[in-house]
Amino acid sequence: MALLVTGGAGYIGSHIVKELARSGYHPIVFDNLSEGHRKAIHGGHLVEGDLKSFDDLHRLFTTYRIDGVFHMAACCYVEESVEDPQKYYLNNLLGTLNLLRAMLEFDVRRIIFSSSAATYGVPQYLPIDEKHVCVPISPYGKSKWFIEQIMFDYAKSHGLEPVMLRYFNAAGADPEGDLGEAHRIETHLIPLVLKVALKQKQKVRVFGTDYPTGDGTCIRDYIHVTDLAKAHVLAYEKHFCGPEIFNLGSGKGFSVREVIEVCRKVTGAEIEAVDAPRRPGDPPSLVASNERAAKELGWRHELGELETMVETAWHWHRKHPNGYTDETEAQKEFFGEIAIRMDFITHEQLDEALKLQKDMDRKGTHKLLGMLMLQEGMLSNSQLIQILKYMETKAKQKVPQGAAPAGKANPAVEKQEEN
Ligand code: UDP
């Protein structure tokens, strides 16, 4: 029985794929690898493609007999959605509409949809149950809520059988150590705090200290990603016919300061935290009532302690300081980034050099990449030495690899580093 997992190479998707494979299913991962990682797929088969292309989906449904769909692929950063709503509506809505069209054409009715607590907006009461009114306050939250509404309509008129799982804050990593959280640009609290513990970042910013909460910082309900993945398998196996909605959270809230404190305890690191302004699109408190999931799905959050979530995440981050990228690749990426930021080469030249290196079958380190650029006349001797010296200095300082070369201010890079 083939089950399609869109976004199955991402953080939550990869844990779902592993859980499905463990339960005896054959997951087919459909992912454009914009955020996902090939190496994160354990027990599934990858088909690269984009949900915005109906042709890609049609080809997939023609090739495989799909019995059900787990739809995780989406853009999912609240702040980015406030800055670029079009990206969110195009990607999340158009992608889902294409997927549903393909499903109907191939007579697939069952879909487990990755929705979000962001659909609720600012809660009117806590804990939030599924009957709570939805007034999402960010384009990300709205995109998820619109999709839910579309699914209700498709259920009524086209016989779709959607189960919509509203996640609270997914956290932690696969307890077996195979999978973890590795975003290209990290914005989530726990991985960022752990990067400070690893000395890859100097400090963490606390977004907003004047919220109407106990210590003034935002409260969130963290749920272990493996527990979350298990809920998907349960939801699929229940075989609901009509549209269903379930909250997935632990039922307990932790403030940003409390999370940082737990990270200090687990890692034994000092972890510098500085107060910062509120982040747009953040509601003050989100805490789930998970009674419905417990009753109807028989779901238990077995890894429910925040400490367990941080411990499993810490284990992953310590073992994989560069995420799914190995050390040599990370060094090469860093080398290329610096060369571009110093205005020595263009992105196109870097791509060309990397391709050359691959074609020559040179198991390339960043130094070999530099030599190749030298041979090709892309870099001068002194430029190569400048880059290598800069990398050495950074390695000694143990400063995050993304730090910009002195005197070459680049606002885009600085913004990313602040994160
Ligand atoms: N947060 C923070 N500093 C950071 C990242 C996040 O203070 O560097 C806060 C954020 O404002 C929110 C909470 O931590 O209140 C959880 O944010 P995260 O991005 O992890 O998840 P979200 O709640 O946005 O899904």
* In a shared domain, residues 349 and 253: no
Residue 361's pLDDT is 62
Q: Evaluate: CB of 78 within 6 angstroms of ligand 1.
A: yes
Nearest C-alpha neighbor of 50 from the set 101, 15, 17, 7: 7
Distance 5 CA to ligand 1 centre (A): 26
Per residue in 234-282, pLDDT tens? 999 999 988 999 999 999 999 999 999 999 999 999 999 999 999 988 9
Distance 239 CA to ligand 1 centre (A): 34
The pick from 256, 274, 415, 418 for probing ligand 1's pocket by mutation, whose C-beta has the most ligand atoms within 8 angstroms, reads 256
Domain annotation covers residue 223: yes
Q: What is the dihedral of CA 24, 71, 281, 153, to 10 degrees?
A: -130
Residues 6+ apart with CB under 8 A from 277: 207, 208
Closest residue CA from atom 15 of ligand 1: 218
* In a shared domain, residues 301 and 401: no
* In a shared domain, residues 281 and 356: no
Residues 184, 210: Cα–Cα separation, whole Å: 30
Q: Evaluate: CB of 263 within 6 angstroms of ligand 1.
A: no
Domain annotation covers residue 304: yes
Distance 78 CA to ligand 1 centre (A): 10
* In a shared domain, residues 200 and 334: no
Mean pLDDT within 112-121: 97
The residue from 88, 140, 167, 390 that is catalytic is 140
Token pair of 380, please? Answer: 């001068």
Indicate the number of domains in the chain. Answer: 2
pLDDT score of 411 more than 70: no
112-to-118, 167, 190 alpha-carbon distances in Å: 17, 12, 26
Can you give the residue range of the structural domain that contains 19?
2-319
Per residue in 339-356, pLDDT tens? 998 999 998 899 898 888
DSSP per-residue letters across 165-194: EEE-EEE---TTSS-----SS---HHHHHH
In this structure, what CATH number is given to the domain that contains residue 73? 3.40.50.720
* In a shared domain, residues 251 and 280: yes
Q: Which of 319, 336, 366 is the last residue of a domain?
A: 319
Domain annotation covers residue 239: yes
Domain annotation covers residue 419: no
Q: Which of 319, 339, 360 is the last residue of a domain?
A: 319
pLDDT score of 399 more than 70: no
Residue 402's pLDDT is 40
Q: Evaluate: CB of 204 within 6 angstroms of ligand 1.
A: yes
Domain annotation covers residue 280: yes
Read off the pLDDT band of 337 (50, 70, 90).
confident
Least-confidence region, from 125-134, 299-308, 397-406? 397-406
Closest residue CA from atom 24 of ligand 1: 78
Q: Evaluate: CB of 192 within 6 angstroms of ligand 1.
A: yes
Residue 146 gets the label, from left (phi > 0), alpha (psi -120 to 50) or beta, of alpha
* In a shared domain, residues 308 and 381: no
Q: Evaluate: CB of 271 within 6 angstroms of ligand 1.
A: no
* In a shared domain, residues 21 and 43: yes
Read off the pLDDT band of 407 (50, 70, 90).
very low
* In a shared domain, residues 360 and 257: no
Largest CA distance in the chain: 68
* In a shared domain, residues 257 and 371: no
Q: What is the pTM of this model?
A: 0.84
- Annotated catalytic, 140? yes
Distance 411 CA to ligand 1 centre (A): 22
* In a shared domain, residues 106 and 209: yes
Q: In 112-239, which ranges are continuous DSSP H helix?
A: 139-158, 189-197, 225-238
Distance 51 CA to ligand 1 centre (A): 27
The pick from 279, 416, 417 for probing ligand 1's pocket by mutation, whose C-beta has the most ligand atoms within 8 angstroms, reads 279
Domain annotation covers residue 74: yes
Distance 292 CA to ligand 1 centre (A): 26
* In a shared domain, residues 292 and 366: no
Q: Which of 319, 351, 370 is the last residue of a domain?
A: 319
Distance 280 CA to ligand 1 centre (A): 11
The pick from 11, 120, 168, 207 for probing ligand 1's pocket by mutation, whose C-beta has the most ligand atoms within 8 angstroms, reads 207
Average pLDDT along the chain: 92
Residue 415's pLDDT is 40
Domain annotation covers residue 400: yes
Ligand 1 atom at shortest distance from the alpha carbon of 206: 7
Domain annotation covers residue 233: yes
pLDDT score of 301 more than 70: yes
Q: Assess contact for 161 and 111: CB atoms under 8 A.
A: yes
* In a shared domain, residues 175 and 46: yes
Closest residue CA from atom 6 of ligand 1: 189
